[in-house]
Copies of this chain bind each other. A is one copy, B any other.
Amino acid sequence: MKNNKIKIGIAGLGTVGSGVINLLNNNKDEILKRTGCEFLVQCVSARNKDKARSCDINNINFYTDPVDMLENEKIDIFVELIGGNDIAKNVVMRAIEKKFHIVTANKALIALHGTKINQLSLEKNCSVLYEASVAGAVPIIKVIKESLSANKIQWIAGIINGTTNYILTEMLLSGKNFNDVLDEAKELGYAESDPTFDIGGIDAAHKLTILASICFGIPLNYDSVYVEGIEDIDLQDLNNAMELGYTIKHLAIARKSKYGIELRVHPCLVPNSRLLANVNGVKNAVVVNSDAAGPTLYYGAGAGSLATASSVVSDIIDIGRNLSINSKKSTPFLGYMNNMVAEQEILKISNIESRYYLRIKVTNKPGVLADITKIFGKKTISIESILQKEENEKDVNVPIVLVTHKIKEQNLIEALLEIENLEVVKDKIIRIRIEELDS
């Protein structure tokens, strides 16, 4: 049945929810020209009706309970912007039962419950779209599922958490340490009051889970992602990296090698000549390397009310355009036919190969470097370069900064354990992977 008046229900009226209502209002005429459809927000749910909001919700049916809303309203599209995963999951499953199409910005929901949500949506013949769940305004989901559909994807590497990128950028620019910049980021609204999910890499890992599935046709598998945050990045490492011609970025990487698939979120040294090294502040960017297109890059705002709403509403419009000509969404949930999505081996982090930046704090006395390089030699780890740090004879401890050739991580782990046991080595050794992003 053709339908040019698309009725929408929205659960959650925070930053993104308000943005969606404002965007549908502000650009109503433009959207009508592009689609021939009117998109009407018929109902919303949020905890508190009277909270001050940046959007106008007069003339919209209001509910404090999203399930209550679903039971009472007849809509075409249900937009889930509650966040979190348990409540959101139940609400979305209920909405699909009611045969409403789903649009969500919720990465945790898709990463953790996407498989079940998709199964039910297939039974009920609904679309589930989630462009806004990764990289805000950057349309990376549709690009991979549709624009790169002719390609075998080899790897993807992204700056997909604005908070960590803001902190790393600011540390380098201002010369301040991690904690001071984190405090500033909180004041500016670039970090949550509890920033654990961002800083620790959990948020990026949810997003990488989604990206990896649509790149390689594997089931959503959050538990297989290796995660390191940026808590241990010290200003001196940012500066050392710069001396070596690199910028430290917190990357989410999924790579298909001959041994299996790597899924990892961690800080990396990226060569300054790469565009990714020049993506600063809260911006997001994703590089996709695929066999036909080669490297392509997608850049933009990773968060923000209207920027995220841009992606949410693009999904709403996709569904609306199909409803208006009585067509169906032709691209499957993960960009692969549902019966073709299949497990592939995920590599343990100890089995990856990489180059490494190492900073080892040692007692300032002759022979120390020889002791260390002897252990590396035993583990067949060869050193590509040593960064000479200015030192003062009076310093009791000095840093040795090394760059290794490409080696297996397991060998490095074993060597570092042994080196950390040397009496002359103080503190835990700092180890950051180097990603050339060139092949």
CB distance from A343 to the nearest CB of B (A): 14
Shortest Cβ distance from A284 into B: residue = B296
Q: Are B324 and A330 in contact (CB under 8 A)?
A: yes
Count identical subunits in the complex: 2
State which of B33, B142, B291, B299 has its C-beta within 8 Å of the C-beta of A306.
B291
A321 in contact with B314 (CB, 8 Å): no
Nearest-neighbour CB distance to chain B for A89, whole angstroms, equals: 26
Whole-angstrom distance between the alpha carbons of A297 and B331 in the complex? 24
Known contacts: A23-B292, A300-B293. The answer to whether A33 contacts B331 by CB under 8 A is no
Which residues of chain A (322-352) have a CB below 8 Å from chain B? Answer: 322, 324-325, 327-328, 330-331, 335-337, 340
Instruction: Given A131-B147, A150-B23, A297-B298, decide whether A327 and B337 contact each other with a Cβ distance below 8 A.
Output: no
In the complex, chain A residues 295-324 whose Cβ is within 8 Å of any chain B Cβ: 295-301, 304, 306-307, 309-311, 313-314, 316-318, 321-322, 324
Given A149-B35, A150-B314: A27 in contact with B137 (beta carbons within 8 A): no
B335 x A34 contact (CB < 8 A): yes
Docked-complex contact A27 and B147, CB < 8 angstroms = no
Across the interface, A331 reaches (CB within 8 A) one of B131, B150, B290, B321, namely B321
Check B27–A296 contact: CB distance below 8 A.
Answer: no
C-alpha gap A293/B314 in the complex (Å): 11
The verdict on A90 contacting chain B, using a C-beta distance below 8 Å, is no
Q: Are A314 and B23 in contact (CB under 8 A)?
A: no
CA of A355 to CA of B301 in the docked complex: distance in angstroms? 27
Contact-residue bracket for chain A? 35 or more
User: Chain B contacts of A27 at CB under 8 A?
Assistant: 150-152, 291-292
- A123 within 8 Å of B (CB atoms): no
Q: Check if A54 is an interface residue, CB within 8 A of chain B.
A: no
Say whether A59 faces chain B, with CB atoms less than 8 Å apart: no
- Is the CB of A369 closer than 8 A to any CB of chain B? no
CA distance A388 to B392 in the complex (A): 43
Instruction: Assess whether B149 is in contact with A139, with CB atoms less than 8 Å apart.
Output: no
Report Cα–Cα, A306/B316, bound state, in Å.
33
* Contact code string A134-161 (vs B, CB < 8 Å = 1, else 0): 0001110011001111111000000000
Asked if B294 contacts A307 (CB within 8 A), the reply is yes
Residue of B nearest to A313 (CB): B150
Q: A335 to chain B: which residues have CB within 8 Å?
A: 34
With beta carbons under 8 angstroms apart, the residue of B146, B314, B324, B327 that contacts A327 is B327
B19, B143, B301, B318: the one contacting A143 at CB < 8 Å is: B143
Q: Chain B contacts of A296 at CB under 8 A? A: 137-139, 298-301
Residue A31 CB within 8 A of the other chain: yes
Q: Provided the pairs A297-B297, A297-B298 are in contact, do residues A322 and B314 lie with their beta carbons within 8 angstroms? A: no
Q: Known: A27-B150, A314-B150. Contact between A301 and B293, CB under 8 A?
A: yes
A34 x B336 contact (CB < 8 A): yes
Task: Please tell me if A26 contacts chain B, counting CB pairs below 8 Å.
Answer: yes
Q: Which of A47-100 contact B (CB under 8 A)?
A: none
Contact of A422 with B by CB under 8 A: no
How near does chain B come to A319, taking the closest CB pair, in angstroms?
9
Confirm or deny: A386 has a beta carbon within 8 angstroms of a beta carbon on chain B: no
Q: Which residues of A contact B (CB under 8 A)?
A: 19, 23-24, 26-27, 30-36, 131, 137-139, 142-143, 146-152, 217, 275, 278-279, 285, 290-301, 304, 306-307, 309-311, 313-314, 316-318, 321-322, 324-325, 327-328, 330-331, 335-337, 340
Shortest 7 CB-CB contacts between residues of A and residues of B: A139-B147, A296-B300, A150-B313, A137-B293, A321-B330, A327-B327, A293-B310
- 25 example contacts (A-B, Cβ-Cβ < 8 A) are as follows A23-B150, A23-B292, A24-B150, A27-B151, A30-B151, A31-B150, A33-B336, A34-B217, A34-B337, A35-B149, A35-B337, A137-B296, A143-B143, A143-B147, A147-B314, A149-B317, A150-B310, A150-B313, A292-B307, A293-B306, A296-B301, A298-B298, A318-B330, A321-B330, A327-B328
